[in-house]
Amino acid sequence: MPITVGQDSAKARKTLSAGNQSFAYYSIPAAEAAGLGDFSKLPAALKVVLENMLRFEDGKTVTLDDIKAFAAWAQDGGKSTREIAYRPARVLMQDFTGVPAVVDLAAMRDGIKALGGDPQKINPLNPVDLVIDHSVMIDEFGNPRAFQMNVDREYERNLERYTFLKWGQKAFNNFRVVPPGTGICHQVNLEYLAQTVWTDEDQNGEEVAYPDTLVGTDSHTTMVNGAAVLGWGVGGIEAEAAMLGQPISMLIPEVVGFKLTGKMVEGTTGTDLVLKVVEMLREKGVVSKFVEFYGDGLDNLPLADRATIANMAPEYGATCGFFPIDAETLRYLEMTGRDTDRIALVEQYAKDNGMWRDGSYDPVYTDTLELDMGTIVPAISGPKRPQDYIALDKAATAFGDYIKGVREGKDASAREEVRWEGEGGAPEPHDIPGDEGHHKRGYAQVGDDKFQMHDGSIVIASITSCTNTSNPYVMIGAGLVARKARELGLNRKPWVKTSLAPGSQVVSAYLEAAELQEDLDAIGFNLVGYGCTTCIGNSGPLAPEISKCISDNDLIATSVLSGNRNFEGRISPDVRANYLASPPLVVAYALVGDMNVDITRESLGKDKDGNDVFLKDIWPSSKEIADLVERTVTRASFQEKYADVFKGDEKWREVETTDAQTYDWPPTSTYVQNPPYFQDMSPEPGTITNIEDAGILALLGDMITTDHISPAGSFKESTPAGQYLVERQVPVREFNSYGSRRGNHEVMMRGTFANIRIKNEMLDGVEGGYTKGPDGEQTSIFDAAMAYQEQGKPLVIFGGEQYGAGSSRDWAAKGTALLGVKAVIAESFERIHRSNLVGMGVIPFEFTGGETRKSLKLTGDESVTITGLDEIKPQQEVPCTIKYADGTEKTIQIKCRIDTAIEIEYVEHGGVLHYVLRNLAKAA
């Protein structure tokens, strides 16, 4: 709800009419006329932020100087050092990040009660929607029972969590839950929740129109920027502060303009386009910047493709990838069932407030780059990073080079044959395309099928993720590939685990209307659930025989998925190489089952008559796809599927909970526990103190992602988290995943830095969550941290470039803090994780002067002292003294990445939530 505005900003308040209604709004042209500056050349994305300043200007939190700084931004080449206080209209959550957020809110109610305050003060002031989409796991696949069996298993595993979320829905104001089995939060947001222009009553009861904006507890919240809704991912702790009324402190961002020209050519998809965009922007360097797409190429780019590009903003490192409002925005709002009066308001508001894109749109940008969409070719990305772009016709060669790099220098038993234990004798060994003696191989039998497996065998092919399943062009395309393959008699290879997990029920509606679902079913792409599944590591177990063959023979098995993330250890513990691809290519690779095959030139298999079938034989034309989209993707289907979006199925309606305003924490729960953050909290904050004689918990390399720091997937009995559950009589079958247990800090502490592929440079060649303990012996990171805590010794982490890339998960910072880490020193940080660390009271520092962990020759046996923190200023350089094991010392300067004044206060309080809680407790 808009707050009382200052007198000068009030001059910008005007009235517009749209449909049958009039609205107040804050006019940027009127602000110019009032002498606040020339804003005409600002990018639309930045005008959204400027409008926020106009609406909330109060002379204190937001001042006229803040507003005038936007005019200076355009005059100064698109740069500013001005700190502003930004308030998004709403908050979006998913269950993996939402459960710990609601846990924190419940704990804050206990905390404020202990401080003598009113628990009802802990309530969202802005609308919050939580979509349960991260919990469904692919246990069952490839048959008509898969969907219902996976749903049943989901409720068995997660009933404690769902009971807790249902309590939260009752206990908190402005908090809604979209039940399991509905869709992925970003797709539900794009197709239903988002309005592009939001409306609300102000304190005087007048209806005010303003841009729809949000933050979300998932990094791919950026997807909705495709519909001109400014949104980005934040950690749960930052989202909680925002929903409790705390503005987001940020610098006026740089905005990089990405000009798109031309149009896509036959045989290419929006996925191919976004993979090239990711590569280009990663090379450009856009971390903590807005990217806005412009140019006449947008006239040829459907909103579904725009959403695909916006979705992957975290992969190219930007805060957001924004598309301004234009005619295509209105067309999409109409198609997806939005109210006609709202569509009229969106058009009128955008035109009246200078946010409409047409042929004359020509803003100032901080920097620009350009891409002709006519140059896009089919592509995939992998094997470990989204920016590792590979043109499809180079994919097999690139994979061979990757295998060669992995295998060279190791025991060259690449051609060694393993003993066959199945009945009927081993299959005949066959050549591996492109193999020069580097590939390993083994044999497996599943049911009646006997087959050779080797490096590059595709064991997972999954149509999954908000990135692509929101796009009817690629989903219909995948269905047509399946239809043509089925007609010719092709099928998936028996070692490939196939799955289809749409982002919303609307996808199923149009696949069924096009009669394509039965074709997908016929080659194994049965519906397995509506959720993120494989993309966030919920791929489920492989057949035991296949898993054993991979393990016994040290095979580099692969996955192909239509997702946005392919980091190490994320997709499956059995898979070491992961490739991102469009849904039609996922189907094609399932037919081949082998990354060594060049699917642009080689046969995919034999048809019913024994003839070779090539990719061109089953690839649909753009016209085929467009005609089916036009016929089957209808306004009526969106309206029908979202009519009862909050109602849920019978299982959800049967979940029982209490009406208590504080949560009765079940002492034996292994899913939800009262966290320690606010227990015994003093009424007043402390001060920032120097870090003295800290031990080193880990030395980590470049591109350490939040998946490395806080994995989301499954874990074994032998891990600290597994041992914790075993001690509480939880059977291994019921372990679920790290992501599902984020409401229990005891599990998550034990899972911090526990990714199976993380490499701590303190140890030689060891993968997994290990380090040296105080005694110098190898042990788990959790056990070492607890031993250091017993000694009262603080800890630091060292890292390389892009530390904290990837998901917005706050547990990467929470777990770091609970392990006793006081500082992280890296070459550079990704935006969200830096903010999360500060929000948990952990100080991020960056090397200066070209120093790195390598130039310092760190081994992990050193101690670290950081001084000057008692008088720290934002982004100040401070001395860091490293004492080596031989007694020598070296002092370097490191840059404190506490970026704003308010963040210093957060750290003084021990974190942003402590800051908010103390202020609420003191308020009358």
Question: What digits encode the pLDDT tens for the residues 554-582?
Answer: 999 999 999 887 877 788 889 999 999 99
Among 109-113, 139-143, 293-297, the range with the most confident prediction by mean pLDDT is: 293-297
Instruction: For residues 699 and 723, state if they share a domain.
Output: no
**Whether residue 81 has pLDDT greater than 70:** yes
What would the mean pLDDT of 349-366 be, rounded to a whole number?
A: 96
pLDDT surpasses 90 at 893? yes
Q: Would you say residue 450 has pLDDT above 80?
A: yes
Matching residue, tokens 């988002």: 194
Q: Is residue 12 part of a domain?
A: no
- Residue 395 three-state SS: helix
Residue 185: what pLDDT? 93
> Would residue 202 count as lying in a domain?
yes
The per-residue DSSP string of 135-156 comes to ----SS-SSTTHHHHHHHHHHH
The enclosing domain of 847 has a CATH number of 3.20.19.10
* 27-53 residue pLDDT tens: 999 999 999 999 999 999 999 999 999
State residue 924's pLDDT score: 52
476 or 448, higher pLDDT? 476
Note whether 448 and 569 are same-domain residues: yes
Q: Has residue 356 been placed in a domain?
A: no
What percent of the chain stands above pLDDT 90?
Answer: 76
Whether 185 and 103 share a structural domain = yes
Residue 683: which of 109, 111, 118 has the closest Cα?
111
738 with 834, same domain: the answer is no
805 DSSP assignment:
B
Is residue 701 located within the same domain as residue 716? no
Examine residue 216 and state whether it is found in any structural domain, yes or no.
Answer: yes
List the beta bridge partners of residue 458.
558
HSE-up (13 A, CA, CB side) for residue 609? 4
Report pLDDT for 413. Answer: 39
Amino acid at 624: E
Determine, yes or no, domain membership for 428. no
CA distance 117 to 4: 26
Whether residues 493 and 525 fall in one domain: yes
**For 400-428, what is the mean pLDDT?**
66
What tens digit of pLDDT does each residue of 13-23 get?
999 999 889 99
Among the candidates 236, 251, 266, a domain finishes at: 251
443/590 same-domain check: yes
Here the tokens at position 289 are 């910047």
Same-domain pairing of 499 and 389: yes
Where does the pLDDT of residue 417 fall: very low under 50, low under 70, confident under 90, or very high at 90 and above? Answer: very low
pTM: 0.86
Structure tokens at 397: 């060669």
What is the pLDDT averaged over residues 534-550? Answer: 88
Q: For residue 432, tell me if it sits in a domain.
A: no
Encode burial over 499-510: b for 16+ CB neighbours within 10 A, e otherwise. bbbbbbbbbbbb
pLDDT of residue 424: 64
Q: Is the pLDDT of residue 744 over 90?
A: yes
What's the CATH number where 446 sits?
3.30.499.10
Residue 428 has pLDDT above 80, yes or no: no
Asked if residue 748 lies in contact with residue 819, where contact means CB atoms within 8 angstroms, the answer is no
Decide which of 156 and 365 is more confident: 365
pLDDT, position 658 = 87
Average pLDDT of the chain to the nearest whole number: 92
Per-residue pLDDT, averaged over 462-470, amounts to 87
Helix H or strand E encompassing 407: helix 395-407
Rounded to an integer, the average pLDDT of 212-230 is: 95
CB-based contact 237:836 (threshold 8 Å): yes
Per-residue confidence (pLDDT) for residue 196, from 0 to 100: 98
The whole-number pLDDT of residue 128 equals 95
Q: Is the pLDDT of residue 442 over 70?
A: yes
Contact yes or no for 322/290 (Cβ under 8 A)? yes
What's the average model confidence in pLDDT over 355-382? 96
Q: Is 869 found in the same domain as 815?
A: yes
Nearest to 577 by CA among 499, 460, 712: 460
- Which amino acid type is present at position 796? V
Of the residues 593, 617, 637, which one is the last residue of a structural domain? 637
- Predicted confidence at residue 446, as pLDDT, reads 87
Among 229, 251, 273, the domain boundary falls at: 251
Alpha carbons 509 and 517: distance in angstroms, whole number: 9
Residue 208 domain flag: yes
* 296 in a structural domain: no
Could you tell me the residue range of the domain that residue 187 belongs to?
Answer: 87-251
Tell me the pLDDT tens digit for each residue of 663-707. Answer: 999 899 999 999 998 888 899 999 999 999 999 999 999 999 998
- Residue 729 and residue 835 share a domain: no
pLDDT at 469: 85
pLDDT in tens, 261-283: 999 999 999 999 999 999 999 99
pLDDT in tens, 696-732: 999 999 999 998 999 888 889 999 999 999 999 999 9
Residues 918 and 841 in one domain: yes
Going from the C-alpha of 395 to that of each of 137, 434, 579, 602, the distances in angstroms are 29, 11, 10, 12
Running DSSP on this structure, what letter comes out for residue 608? T
The whole-angstrom separation of Cα 460 and Cα 463 is 10
Range name among 307-321, 408-422, 872-886 with the lowest pLDDT average: 408-422
pLDDT band with cut points at 50, 70 and 90 for residue 2: very low
Q: Based on the domain organization, do 620 and 550 belong to the same domain?
A: yes
**Given pLDDT bands bounded at 50, 70 and 90, which one contains residue 7?**
low
Count of structural domains within the chain? 4
pLDDT at 74: 93
